[in-house]
Amino acid sequence: MGLYHHCVFPYLLDFAMGSRVFDKPRKRTLARASGRILEIGFGTGRNLPHYPPGVSRIEAIDPDTDLDRFSGPRIAASSIAVDFHHLNAEHLPFTGESFDTVVCTLTLCSIPDVVHALGEVHRVLKPGGRFLFLEHGLSPDADVARWQHRLNPLQQRIGGGCHLTRDTVALVGQSGLQLHDAEHYYLRHIPRVAGYMTEGSALKA
């Protein structure tokens, strides 16, 4: 797993995250990003081209140093200034109530202690601040969900800790954030076990 995780997985991840099927969902999700912005789980930097024109600077975190070979050149080529840190979302060093927007795409599935991480999102958002999310997760369809539970252990091993069975809306609700809007759909061209999407936003009261 060491060699796979360090040398193979980053390429697979960047390839998968670069799929055109995510372009429109990313653009829609990021359209409401404004003010001081934090992106958690920056990955290989695939969101950068999808921020709206008014965004000129973001802070971003991701713990995986193996992704730097992809994210570094994208940060360098972007017109957006990215203040990047190797950090886990479970322990953010930022002052409370200091961000207007926190962005999270295709990442709640991979954070080991996702409840703690969402608590941190709640803490660092200003009152009235927005959490913007685009996530795959547990399907409401029993047949799909059964396969998600079956394949979940394998997915975690080959997918960098990615879970197929997380319920995005329930997790956001537990964090103290107030769900504002959520769209659910299956992505075309992606197996249903990995393609049940939840896209939306939540607000800090």
Ligand X SMILES: C[S@@+](CC[C@H](N)C(=O)[O-])C[C@H]1O[C@@H](n2cnc3c(N)ncnc32)[C@H](O)[C@@H]1O
Please tell me the distance from the alpha carbon of residue 109 to that of residue 137, in angstroms, as a whole number.
Answer: 7
Residue 40 found at the interface with ligand X (CB under 6 A) = yes
Please tell me the distance from the alpha carbon of residue 1 to that of residue 153, in angstroms, as a whole number.
Answer: 14
Residues binding ligand X: number (CB under 6 A): 20
**Residue whose C-alpha is closest to residue 182's, from 191, 170, 165:** 170
What is the nearest approach in angstroms of ligand X to the Cβ of residue 69? 13
Residue 64 found at the interface with ligand X (CB under 6 A) = yes
What's the order of all strands across the beta sheet hosting 99-105?
A: 81-85, 57-61, 37-40, 99-105, 125-136, 196-203, 178-186
Q: Footprint of ligand X on residues 82-141 (CB under 6 A)? A: 88-90, 105-107, 110-112
> Look-up: residue for tokens 């992704």?
67
Bridge-based pairing of strands 37-40 and 57-61 is parallel
What is the nearest approach in angstroms of ligand X to the Cβ of residue 142? 26
Residue 68 found at the interface with ligand X (CB under 6 A) = no
Select 110 or 139, whichever has its Cβ closest to ligand X: 110
Q: Footprint of ligand X on residues 7-36 (CB under 6 A)? A: 13, 17
> What residues line the site for ligand X (CB under 6 A)?
13, 17, 40-41, 43, 46-47, 62-64, 67, 88-90, 105-107, 110-112
